[in-house]
Amino acid sequence: MLNYDVAFIINFVISILAALLSLSIAYYSYSAHKLVKSYRFGYFSLAFLSLFTTFSLKSFSMFVHAMRASTIVGTLTFHTFNAAIILSRFFMLLGIVLLYFATRKDVKGSNANILTYIFMLIIILSLNSGPVYAITSIVLLIFIVIHYCNKLLRGYTQSLLLIHLSMVLFLVAQLMHLFVATEILPLIQSSVFLIALIIMALTVIRSYNC
């Protein structure tokens, strides 16, 4: 059984790797967007850029937490840690909302403005409430998973299957927010996120290079 310190270090490294993978997915999605001028690739790129910010903030908050636990204490590190947690929630939900937009055909013009307003309001209301944050992200991810499941039923491709698998793993990771917190749970959740991002990155990079 891993002790807390070892699990914390592994989780910190995984968060950095997740940030780098998210950035690579954002880059290749944006490159595809420039080539084919598809709004879906644009949303996809922005979504993973938001997730890059999420995992970067998570890594930063863990670094601040480690400082608080060692020699540096005080109000500054306490508020910095809390601010990083709230911002990481914001960008995680924003990324999931953008992924949801990428699955819809009607997110254009006035519809896009209305949906953006509604979801921004939901995101803001979710920041200070763990359960609301978890339920909001889970519901959106369920819709995303259903979308890719329906696309698979209409026509199978390996890339589509891998993207669907990645989204299912994202959903599983977010579902862990509903579990009873244990010392090892954050590490398991981060590991699931990392696997999902590896699958997504390999799929996006391979599809772009084909």
pLDDT tens digit string along 79-94? 666 777 778 888 898 8
- CATH number of the domain residue 172 falls in: 1.20.1070.10
Q: Look at the alpha carbons of 83, 86, 87, 88 in this order and tell me if their dihedral is positive or negative.
A: positive
* Range of the structural domain that residue 187 is part of: 4-209
- 97 pLDDT above the threshold of 80: yes
Query: For residue 137, what pLDDT band results from cuts at 50, 70 and 90?
Result: confident
Over its C-alpha atoms, the chain yields an Rg (Å, rounded) of: 18
Average pLDDT over residues 62-67: 71
Q: Contact at 8 Å (CB) between 48 and 23?
A: yes
Percent of the chain topping pLDDT 90: 31
- 51 pLDDT above the threshold of 90: yes
Query: For residue 108, what pLDDT band results from cuts at 50, 70 and 90?
Result: low
Q: Which two tokens stand for residue 83?
A: 């601010």
When divided into structural domains, the chain yields a total of: 1
Average pLDDT over residues 136-149: 91
User: Which residues, other chains included, contact 33 with Cβ-Cβ below 8 Å and sequence gap of 6+?
Assistant: 41, 42, 44, 45
Average pLDDT over residues 160-169: 93
**What pTM was computed for the model?**
0.83
Q: How crowded is the C-beta side of 197, counted as CA atoms within 13 Å?
A: 26
Q: Look at the alpha carbons of 185, 191, 197, 199 in this order and tell me if their dihedral is positive or negative.
A: negative
Burial class, 195, CB count within 10 angstroms (exposed 0-12 / middle 13-18 / buried 19+) = middle
